[in-house]
Amino acid sequence: MPKEKKGLEIKKLISSLAWQQRNLPWVLVAIAVIALDLISKAWVSNSLYYGQRIEVLPVFDLVLLHNTGAAFSFLAEAGGWQRVFFVALGVIASLFLWGWMNRLKPSEKLTALALALILGGALGNLHDRILHGYVVDFLAFHWNHSYFPAFNIADAGISVGAALIIWLAFFGKESKT
């Protein structure tokens, strides 16, 4: 690739990260996810001791857990290097999501909502990784003695946003104009 073309590509990439006023509603959605996530984690961290389980419903408990790994505690026992890896991954993913959101057409509102949910969740968990070295998880669903891995509000935002992106890929009718 010639240097001039490569330079244009880098400028285009950097310009896609610039603030765009039309994204204000989606930024507010991401901020709401971050706020709900951090407030709920602070409340649980100050109300429960590590591992304490409080039954809320027969299929749902609150439990304070610390996850040094990724989803479903993947790499939780990796020896510490995963903290730097997941912080870097979170920063890169957040920049990618922001750039993607900035390139959307104004009519692609559902895609923007999905990206805002994912971005808010990514930043909420990134905050935990930077500050604590782990992510606070506290929502535990189960059936009898079979437990789904505990998660948090940030994870819920990421999951709902990703499900919406998948749904839009298969069934979405958003206008691209």
CA dihedral 62, 67, 70, 71 (to 10 degrees): -20
Does residue 60 surpass a pLDDT of 90?
A: yes
Would you name the residues annotated as active-site residues? Answer: 137, 155
DSSP letter at 104? S
Domain assignment of residue 3, yes or no: no
Alpha-carbon distance of 155 to 38, in angstroms, equals 12
What confidence tier does 144 reach under pLDDT thresholds 50, 70, 90?
A: confident
Tokens, residue 78: 């990796």
Domain assignment of residue 93, yes or no: yes
Domain assignment of residue 16, yes or no: no
Does residue 153 surpass a pLDDT of 90?
A: yes
Alpha-carbon distance of 31 to 85, in angstroms, equals 24
Alpha-carbon distance of 69 to 123, in angstroms, equals 16
DSSP string covering 51-94: T-EEEEETTEEEEEEEESSSGGGTTTTS-SHHHHHHHHHHHHHH
Quote the mean pLDDT of the chain: 85
Please tell me the predicted confidence (pLDDT) of residue 17. 64
Please tell me the predicted confidence (pLDDT) of residue 23. 85
74-78 average pLDDT score: 52
Domain assignment of residue 136, yes or no: yes
Residue 63's domain comprises 21-171
Tell me the per-residue pLDDT of 105-141, one tens digit each, with 9 for 90 and over: 999 999 999 999 999 999 999 999 999 988 999 999 9
Domain assignment of residue 74, yes or no: yes
Domain assignment of residue 13, yes or no: no
Domain assignment of residue 76, yes or no: yes
Domain assignment of residue 96, yes or no: yes
Alpha-carbon distance of 93 to 89, in angstroms, equals 6
Q: How many domains does the chain have?
A: 1
Percent helix, strand, coil in the chain, to 5, is 60, 15, 25
